[in-house]
Chains A and B, each alone.
Chain A
């Protein structure tokens, strides 16, 4: 099993460009999450999904959109990237909300 995978691993964007980060899990987990991690800020939840076709906002959702069309995939979109979105993005999945979360290796995004 690959666990949780993220694509791409690194990306540099110019301000105003758009991109989509892909997260995939092969553990048949119901819940999936997108976090960002910045120095001194810890992990902050952007959006999450409790099942196929459903999404919910987390702590810092502004500037991001998500979609969960298939149970195994969770996409994070940046429509118009800003330098404030420079961060490390982690995807995670879990069986249910209160169970252990498994994280992907992260995507390092720089917006110039």
Chain B
């Protein structure tokens, strides 16, 4: 079983739609969780950290379910500019490197 698994998509949604991605992780000892965004032919950039209590940043909401070992990202009122690949990222503890999922591709259509 891979450490971090994501549905590769693509998710094709119309502007204004709400879309949700899930990501599962295999190691129950994982401690830190993030969502990164990668535009085509660009470097990944941090979208948001994921906290145990869940967190929201504008149209984006991230949730963590430790019992089921999954992380979710909800995007409301999708914009054309949200089209990108979203990477789920976890780390075990302390100073171990981040582990990246392969990403979920989102296409927002006018």
The distance in angstroms between the C-alpha atoms of A45 and B99, with both chains bound, is 9
Q: Specify which of A48, A50, A98, A104 is in contact with B43 (CB 8 Å cutoff).
A: A104
Interface size class of B (residues with CB under 8 A): 20 to 34
A-facing residues in B5-27 (Cβ within 8 Å) = none
Q: Contacts A43-B87, A104-B43, A105-B42: A97 and B103 contacting too (C-beta < 8 A)?
A: no
Report the tally of A-B residue pairs with Cβ distances under 8 A.
51
Judge if B86 is at the interface, Cβ distance under 8 Å.
no
Can you list 22 A-B contacts with CB-CB less than 8 angstroms, sorted by A residue number? A31-B95, A40-B102, A41-B102, A42-B87, A42-B101, A43-B87, A45-B97, A50-B95, A90-B44, A97-B94, A97-B95, A98-B31, A98-B32, A99-B32, A100-B49, A101-B44, A101-B46, A101-B98, A103-B45, A105-B42, A105-B43, A106-B43
